[in-house]
Amino acid sequence: MDKQTILQERFGFRSFRDGQEALIDAILSGRDVFGVMPTGGGKSLCYQIPALLLEGLTLVVSPLISLMKDQVAALKEAGIPAAFLNSSLTAAQQREVLRRAELGAYRLIYVAPERLLTDSFLAFAAGQRISLLAVDEAHCVSQWGQDFRPNYLDVPAFVRRLPRRPVIAAFTATATAEVGEDVVRLLELREPLRLVTGFDRPNLYFDVRRERDKTAWLMDYLEARRDKSGIVYCATRKTVEQVCEKLRAAGFAATRYHAGLDDAERRENQEDFAYDRAAVMVATNAFGMGIDKSNVSFVIHYNMPKNIESYYQEAGRAGRDGAPADCVLLFSPGDVITAEYLIENGSEREQLDEALRAQLLIRDMRRLRQMQAYCKTGGCYRAALLDYFGEAHAPGCGNCGNCVQRREEPSGETVEEDLTLAAQKILSCVRRVERKNGVGLGETMIVRILTGSRDKTLLAREYDLLPTYGVMKDCKRPLLHEYVRALVKQGYLLQVPGDYEVLRTAEKANRVLFENEAVLWRHAASKQTRPGRKPAAAGGPGAAEQSLFDRLRGLRAELARQAGVPAYVIFHDASLLKLAELQPATELELLTVSGVGEQKAKKYGRAVLAVIAEWKQEQQGKKSSKAKKKEPQPPLHLRPEQLARYVCDPDGISMTEFARRLTALKEGGEAGELTGRQLSEQLLTEGYLKEQSAETDNLRRRPTPAGESVGITLTERSGKDGRAFTMVTLTEEAQRWLIGRLSEGLIME
Ligand code: ADP
Ligand code: MG
């Protein structure tokens, strides 16, 4: 077996991703490696494939129980024997794992770092041939990172206790230089191959939105994605509670995760999310590292995170399966204050000495400013992120909020509005507030004053006594916010940073206030109605494929339930989509789908093919039953008393309408139908109508003299689109004549 065969047969992937092959080759040649790849980049495969090719055992140091559990489940699904050792197992279960491991039952064993130096584990390890030690989430070794885990520092001591030094392979998604240095030094890697792959994730759509009502926006967003799964990150536990509560009250399947919940609830909620029982996870940044769920199709940041590293890592949990996914950050100036508070009062660094703490504080504040700058950039969001990580990129990505907005605003679509009067009111309000309190107020308060809000703070500080209080109460608040931003953009208002960002009038405002300068606002016509990008529809399935996709999802849910694993461990959404598109009929075709390896084809192939075949048959059935409907019904037989109920239309009607009205005389349960076309054919064969060459549009037949003699005529009508057309018309006389014929038993056939 070679790596390519394993990739294809065990994992079902056709080609390696960026960096994987080089890292695997290095490991196989006996060299330490340090791989830095973005979340979802495919780090696991870099040690899992060598684990199958090297003799002996691979140990994987992993920080989280849930992470181990899912990875081991996924490996087992692929037919690779693996196990984990952590506190979720009883003592007896742990002994059993070790016993089987000694018999050589596993290729990989996942362990928590705390276990490395325990007597029982050291005793076990001493008797094994350990060829590879993989350290996943290796940034946990560094106290510079968010996830410092002191026991990661035990790795070198553990290695020294082994009879033979294994190859050490470290992996992380954290790209900063400080963390990188720490990983190499503290894990004592020997001249490792250091490989940093590209950080771009083209399938992720990035956006930053300033929404006055974040909850309302979130609900709209989720409403449009009822069948999708995603994460909502909040800055504090309290916000998690509130948001989760609101979502549940509105009927969304939401669950929550933060460090204030007990272990049992956290585990349960995380599983509900992983197993798709809860579609939305509302969480603090405590929810993270352990999520390998591949079908996360959005990550919404309800608050701005503390730095771009965290943001990119958290947002990166979307779209691991490569399908289009959204990363939207809902920014508000208040988030900056919360972030500053968290940085200043964080408990993470309590164990550190004062000098280091001070150093970290300065660094964190600097990072916070960079995060803020990202939120405010008018340029490409992806470019801003990649710049931050020092990666080259195209000037615009075309798949972020700012790039898309620019595309949606071609000159033809912009409108120009005269904002002078509104501007005068807004500027005057800001000016008066400045005079009153000497500093100014934030945008939200200004808008509240203008709209006459009964906000407590506002009333307590007597802003309701200003003459501009309530002068714009008829203006919708979101629109008013847009006006304010337009005034900022045009330089009439200044945003002055401070503890809070406040608005102040610029010198230029005087021209509007006192000289009647006109203020014009150019904006995209769709600006206020656009609720954000449409659901990640690009590349989505068509209606037919969607129905097969849904069917396959149902099958997957059932298989996952039987196997006791999360659905994505069985097949990724991306694989199901591909299946729905290709509709394979044989196992061989099945194997061409990315994510379907031999093991999975063997295990689930038959069920999948059966569902597809059944679905195809149903589609065929539907088609032919549709065709059946169009087959002519038996001819219409009406009894004289039924015909007597026909009321002739004095205005004259078309043959189609006449046929419809006759058919309507049928009584419940009676078969038979007369169509306009049948009637027309009949009259043609009987010589009441004749064909004519199509000189006139629409008119294929016209009455013969015989037809005219029974009352069939041509009339001018105007169609729905206002265009005139000529129609064969049955006058009242012709209708009576036809009814008479029918009563005499002359059937239209
Ligand atoms: P991370 O780097 O975040 O640890 P994972 O190892 O969990 O990423 O991989 C992310 C996803 O990408 C997984 O679902 C995995 O199956 C998939 N993947 C990994 N390598 C490939 C590949 N070469 N081709 C296709 N999909 C892959
Ligand atoms: Mg990983």
Q: Which ligand is nearest to the Cα of residue 64, counting in written order?
A: 2
Residue 280 maps to a domain: yes
From start to end of 236-365, where are the E strands?
Answer: 254-257, 280-283, 296-301, 325-330
Q: Which ligand is nearest to the Cα of residue 318, counting in written order?
A: 1
Are residue 253 and residue 383 in the same domain, yes or no? yes
List the one residue out of 669, 664, 663 whose CA is nearest residue 632.
663
Res 535 pLDDT > 60:
no
Please tell me the predicted confidence (pLDDT) of residue 404: 85
Percentage, residues of the chain above pLDDT 90: 46
Give the count of beta carbons closer than 10 Å to the beta carbon of residue 179.
21
> Please, which pLDDT band fits residue 630 given cuts at 50, 70 and 90?
low
Are residue 74 and residue 157 in the same domain, yes or no? yes
Please tell me the predicted confidence (pLDDT) of residue 126: 94
Are residue 673 and residue 579 in the same domain, yes or no? no
CA-angle at 372, arms to 371 and 376, nearest 5°: 120
Res 30 pLDDT > 70:
yes
The helix (run of H) or strand (run of E) holding residue 22 is helix 20-28
- Substitution candidate for ligand 1 out of 24, 292, 295, 296 with most atoms within 8 A of CB: 292
Mean pLDDT for 606-631 is 80
Q: Whose CA is nearest to atom 18 of ligand 1?
A: 42
Residue 512 maps to a domain: yes
- Substitution candidate for ligand 1 out of 172, 320, 565, 571 with most atoms within 8 A of CB: 320
Residue 713 maps to a domain: yes
- Substitution candidate for ligand 1 out of 13, 36, 565 with most atoms within 8 A of CB: 13
More confident residue, 530 or 106: 106
pLDDT in tens, 689-710: 888 765 544 567 889 888 999 9
Please tell me the predicted confidence (pLDDT) of residue 532: 44
Judged by average pLDDT, the poorest of 45-49, 347-351, 511-515 is: 347-351
Residue 418 phi/psi, 5° resolution? -85, 115
Mean pLDDT for 476-486 is 85
Q: What is the CATH number of the domain that holds 467?
A: 1.10.10.10
The residues facing 109 across adjacent strands are 59, 83
Residue 387 maps to a domain: yes
Longest dimension (CA), the chain: 113
Domain final residue, candidates 524, 552, 586: 524
CA of 171 to the centre of ligand 2 (A): 8
CA of 646 to the centre of ligand 2 (A): 77
Are residue 304 and residue 227 in the same domain, yes or no? yes
Residue 114 maps to a domain: yes
Please tell me the predicted confidence (pLDDT) of residue 624: 73
Are residue 54 and residue 147 in the same domain, yes or no? yes
Helix, strand, coil fractions of the chain, as percent rounded to 5: 45, 15, 40
pLDDT in tens, 387-439: 888 888 888 888 999 888 876 655 445 677 788 889 999 999 999 999 988 88
Strand 296-301 to 414-418 pairing: unpaired
Q: Whose CA is nearest to atom 27 of ligand 1?
A: 42
Are residue 211 and residue 313 in the same domain, yes or no? yes
Ligand 1 atom closest to the CA of 39, numbered from 1:
3
Burial code (b: 16+ CB inside 10 Å, e: under 16) for 626-638 equals eeeeeeeeeebeb
Burial code (b: 16+ CB inside 10 Å, e: under 16) for 575-603 equals bbbbbbeebbeeeeebbebbbbbbbbbeb
Please tell me the predicted confidence (pLDDT) of residue 698: 52
Cβ(567)–Cβ(296) below 8 Å? no
Token pair for 279:
């579609």
Please tell me the predicted confidence (pLDDT) of residue 539: 44
Amino acid of residue 8 = Q
Q: What is the CATH number of the domain that holds 563?
A: 1.10.150.80
Residue 631 maps to a domain: no
> Please, which pLDDT band fits residue 582 given cuts at 50, 70 and 90?
confident
Are residue 654 and residue 581 in the same domain, yes or no? no
Q: Which ligand is nearest to the Cα of residue 74, counting in written order?
A: 1
Res 307 pLDDT > 50:
yes
Res 527 pLDDT > 50:
no
Domain final residue, candidates 393, 409, 425: 409
Cβ(57)–Cβ(105) below 8 Å? no
Residues with CB under 5 A from ligand 2 (ion): 43
CA of 231 to the centre of ligand 1 (A): 19
Q: How far apart are CA 467 and CA 654, in angstroms?
A: 69
Q: How many domains does the chain have?
A: 5
Q: How far apart are CA 202 and CA 691, in angstroms?
A: 61
Residue with tokens 């939200």, as numbered in its chain = 444
606-608-610-611 Cα dihedral, nearest 10 degrees: 160
- Greatest mean pLDDT among 156-165, 463-472, 488-497, 664-673: 156-165
Ligand 1 atom closest to the CA of 136, numbered from 1:
4
Are residue 162 and residue 242 in the same domain, yes or no? no
Q: Which pTM was predicted? A: 0.61
Find all residues with CB under 8 Å of 97, minimum gap 6, and list them: 83, 84, 85, 89, 109
Q: Which ligand is nearest to the Cα of residue 38, counting in written order?
A: 1
Q: How far apart are CA 382 and CA 403, in angstroms?
A: 9
List the one residue out of 277, 236, 282 whose CA is nearest residue 260.
236
Q: Whose CA is nearest to atom 4 of ligand 1?
A: 43
Q: How far apart are CA 328 and CA 336, in angstroms?
A: 17
Residue 592 maps to a domain: yes
Please tell me the predicted confidence (pLDDT) of residue 687: 85
Based on the number of CB atoms within 10 Å of its own CB, is 516 exposed (0-12), middle (13-18) or buried (19 or more)?
exposed
CA of 43 to the centre of ligand 2 (A): 6
Burial code (b: 16+ CB inside 10 Å, e: under 16) for 336-356 equals bebbeebbeeeeeeeeeeeee
Q: Whose CA is nearest to atom 19 of ligand 1?
A: 42
CA of 622 to the centre of ligand 2 (A): 45
Q: Which residues line ligand 1 (CB under 6 A)?
A: 13, 16-17, 20, 37, 39-45, 292, 294, 320, 594
Residue 530 maps to a domain: no
Please tell me the predicted confidence (pLDDT) of residue 396: 83
Ligand 1 atom closest to the CA of 14, numbered from 1:
24
Q: What is the CATH number of the domain that holds 361?
A: 3.40.50.300
Query: What distances in angstroms separate CA 547 from CA 501, 541, 561, 576, one per listed residue?
Result: 50, 9, 21, 12
Residue 159 phi/psi, 5° resolution? -60, -40
CA of 148 to the centre of ligand 1 (A): 24
Q: Which ligand is nearest to the Cα of residue 63, counting in written order?
A: 2
Mean pLDDT for 339-353 is 76
Judged by average pLDDT, the poorest of 443-457, 524-538, 599-613, 663-677 is: 524-538
Domain final residue, candidates 409, 429, 446: 409
CA of 382 to the centre of ligand 2 (A): 22
Please tell me the predicted confidence (pLDDT) of residue 350: 65
CA of 43 to the centre of ligand 1 (A): 7
Q: Whose CA is nearest to atom 26 of ligand 1?
A: 13
Q: How far apart are CA 601 and CA 9, in angstroms?
A: 10
Q: Which ligand is nearest to the Cα of residue 67, counting in written order?
A: 2
Residue with tokens 């979802």, as numbered in its chain = 40
Cβ(416)–Cβ(521) below 8 Å? yes
pLDDT in tens, 261-283: 998 999 899 989 988 899 999 99
Q: How far apart are CA 182 and CA 142, in angstroms?
A: 6
CA of 42 to the centre of ligand 1 (A): 3
Q: Whose CA is nearest to atom 10 of ligand 1?
A: 40
Mean pLDDT for 446-471 is 91
Mean pLDDT for 527-552 is 60
Please tell me the predicted confidence (pLDDT) of residue 528: 39
Q: Whose CA is nearest to atom 23 of ligand 1?
A: 16
CA of 273 to the centre of ligand 1 (A): 19
Are residue 255 and residue 139 in the same domain, yes or no? no
Please tell me the predicted confidence (pLDDT) of residue 534: 44
- Substitution candidate for ligand 1 out of 15, 17, 204, 297 with most atoms within 8 A of CB: 17
Ligand 1 atom closest to the CA of 37, numbered from 1:
2
Are residue 150 and residue 27 in the same domain, yes or no? yes
CA of 500 to the centre of ligand 1 (A): 42
Based on the number of CB atoms within 10 Å of its own CB, is 694 exposed (0-12), middle (13-18) or buried (19 or more)?
exposed
CA of 137 to the centre of ligand 2 (A): 7
Mean pLDDT for 718-730 is 79
Q: Residue 698: which domain range?
A: 640-743
- Greatest mean pLDDT among 44-58, 145-159, 509-523: 44-58
Q: Which ligand is nearest to the Cα of residue 313, counting in written order?
A: 1
Cβ(80)–Cβ(33) below 8 Å? no
Are residue 400 and residue 427 in the same domain, yes or no? no
Mean pLDDT for 669-684 is 83
CA of 46 to the centre of ligand 1 (A): 10
Mean pLDDT for 625-633 is 61
Res 475 pLDDT > 90:
no
Are residue 103 and residue 154 in the same domain, yes or no? yes
Q: Whose CA is nearest to atom 5 of ligand 1?
A: 42
Based on the number of CB atoms within 10 Å of its own CB, is 219 exposed (0-12), middle (13-18) or buried (19 or more)?
middle
pLDDT in tens, 562-575: 888 888 889 988 88
More confident residue, 355 or 376: 376
